[in-house]
């Protein structure tokens, strides 16, 4: 599971994407879904959505589905406003 930090704004986005990509590629190859844990997110802006979409693209490039676990309601609403909620589905 990929862990998102407590603060994820524009200032942290690039470094977070880089760290998450490294973590993703360190996982064993296979068809298992990639799950990003957003439960620690407290302070964020729309950059958090961009980070999740970047992780989704990376997971898809590896042939793996992407899900988000424990996304804050406020961030889920923001994803809905931008019309991308379906691209970052909640994990089962």
Q: Could you say which architecture CATH assigns to the domain 2-87?
A: 2-Layer Sandwich (3.30)
**pTM assigned to the model:** 0.92
When the pLDDT of each residue in the chain is averaged and rounded to a whole number, the result is 94
- Spans of all domains in the chain: 2-87
Question: What are the tens digits of pLDDT across the range 65-84?
Answer: 999 999 999 999 999 999 99
Give Cα 8 distance to the centre of its chain: 11
pLDDT band per the 50, 70, 90 thresholds, residue 3:
very high
Q: CA-CA distance, 27 to 69, in Å (whole number)? A: 18
Is the Cβ–Cβ distance between 52 and 68 less than 8 Å?
yes
Among 33, 71, 25, 23, smallest CA distance to 49 is for: 71
Q: Residue 15 pLDDT more than 90? A: yes
């Amino acid at each position: 599971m990929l862990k998102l930090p407590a603060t994820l704004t524009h200032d942290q986005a690039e470094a977070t994407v880089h760290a998450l990509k490294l973590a993703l590629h360190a996982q064993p190859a296979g068809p298992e879904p990639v799950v990003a844990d957003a439960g620690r997110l407290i302070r964020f802006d729309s950059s958090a959505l961009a980070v999740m979409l970047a992780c989704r693209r990376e997971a898809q490039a590896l042939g793996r589905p992407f899900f988000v676990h424990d996304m804050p309601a406020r961030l889920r609403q923001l994803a809905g406003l931008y019309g991308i909620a379906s691209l970052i589905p909640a994990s089962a």
